[in-house]
């Protein structure tokens, strides 16, 4: 049986990437795609890179055909409103926005400045990070696709936190390419403003921070100790990529060999996440669903330093959504997904 997929807001970067991936998926096909400003146009005409395969796929205002799964790439707070009707009739939903990532509606209000549109759906949502929640994802019908920064950070720190090797406070210094801001973002992201420039933003107040704390806290051995993460994101002048460098105090002495073994063992069954022996570059993940992590013991200061890289539109968004789709329909996680990158 072919999985019939619909994309809400196909015209954003994540939606377009999801459409591109569905085209090469052996078991799924795109049968419906919505877009607000481009409704009525053909997807291939609006986006010529998709012309060869979606030249006759019309962008509509609503999903008006039967689908087996919905991938929503709407902005946060708008996404839940459009996902809810599908959830209520039992259609599987993957929300690429942030509406279902935080389990607490009050915390959602604190960080996003608005009431949650559908708090009744929060208990049924599963955080869609396959390396940690694969079995839960398989049994779910509503998936909260993780953010790009949290994916890189959680995968960088999960082995160390789960084994009790590190403690708080944790510092995360992360960089993102411009595509992370999305197609619909307003001023401040054109070429003349971002070229030859690096800047930090939303220091200590980014809404991905509680997502990191929530999911990493669930992995803690010592739940009595509150996990604290200081997260600073930066915008860098490249199209795609996330680079996160995470710093955490060690609980006890551990060798570099032992930490390498810990990470390689933790991810040995993952088709996309690997521990590397050299510091990874963002370009080594370009166009793939890979996440590469590199743990290093700073012996002089008793600190674990982990660098992590991924493509923010792939493992950080649409690629991870397809990985979750595969789990929902009992397919191999790598179905339809590239695990080699574009180079150079």
Would you please indicate which residues are annotated as catalytic (active-site) residues?
148
Q: Of 283, 289, 293, 274, which is closest to residue 324 (Cα–Cα)?
A: 289
- Continuous segment of H or E residues that includes residue 60: strand 59-60
| Exposure b/e, 18-27, CB count within 10 A at least 16 = b | bbbbbeebee
* Sheet (strand 199-200) strand order: 199-200, 229-235, 170-176, 242-249, 303-310, 291-298, 273-275
Q: DSSP secondary-structure letter at 316?
A: I
Identify the residue whose tokens are 């690429």: 96
Q: Of 291, 317, 312, 314, which is closest to residue 179 (Cα–Cα)?
A: 312
The Cα 235–Cα 256 span in angstroms is 31
Q: What is the CA radius of gyration of the chain?
A: 20
- Continuous segment of H or E residues that includes residue 200: strand 199-200
| Exposure b/e, 203-235, CB count within 10 A at least 16 = b | eeebbbbbbbbbbbeebbeeeeeebebebbbeb
Largest separation between any pair of C-alpha atoms in the chain: 62
């Amino acid at each position: 049986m072919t999985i019939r997929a619909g994309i809400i807001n196909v015209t954003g970067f994540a939606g377009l990437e999801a459409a591109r991936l569905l085209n090469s998926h052996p078991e799924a096909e795109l049968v419906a795609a919505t877009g607000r400003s481009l409704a009525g146009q053909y997807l291939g005409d609006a986006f010529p890179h998709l012309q060869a395969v979606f030249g006759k796929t019309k962008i509509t205002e609503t999903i008006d055909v039967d689908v087996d799964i919905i991938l929503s790439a709407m902005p946060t707070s708008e996404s839940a409103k459009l996902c809810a009707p599908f959830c209520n009739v039992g259609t599987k939903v993957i929300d690429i926005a942030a509406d279902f990532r935080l389990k607490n509606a009050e915390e959602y209000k604190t960080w996003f400045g608005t009431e949650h549109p559908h708090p009744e759906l929060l208990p049924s949502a599963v955080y869609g990070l396959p390396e940690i929640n694969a079995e839960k994802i398989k049994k779910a019908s509503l998936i909260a696709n993780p953010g790009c920064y949290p994916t890189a950070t959680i995968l960088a720190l999960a082995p160390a936190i789960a084994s009790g090797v590190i403690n708080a406070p944790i510092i995360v210094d992360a960089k993102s390419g411009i595509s992370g801001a999305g197609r619909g973002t307003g001023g401040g992201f054109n070429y003349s403003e971002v070229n030859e420039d690096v800047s930090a933003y939303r220091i200590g107040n980014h809404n991905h921070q509680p997502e990191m704390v929530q999911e990493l806290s669930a992995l803690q051995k010592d739940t009595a100790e509150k996990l604290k993460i200081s997260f600073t994101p930066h915008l860098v002048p490249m199209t795609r990529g996330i680079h996160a460098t995470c710093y955490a105090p060690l609980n006890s002495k551990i060798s570099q060999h032992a930490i390498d073994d810990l990470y390689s063992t933790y991810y040995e069954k993952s088709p996309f996440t690997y521990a590397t022996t050299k510091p990874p570059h963002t370009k080594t993940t370009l166009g793939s669903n890979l996440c590469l992590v590199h743990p290093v013991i700073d012996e002089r200061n008793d600190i674990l330093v982990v660098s992590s890289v991924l493509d923010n539109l792939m493992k950080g968004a649409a690629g991870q959504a397809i990985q979750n789709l595969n789990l929902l329909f009992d397919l191999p996680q790598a179905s339809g997904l590239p695990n080699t990158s574009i180079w150079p």
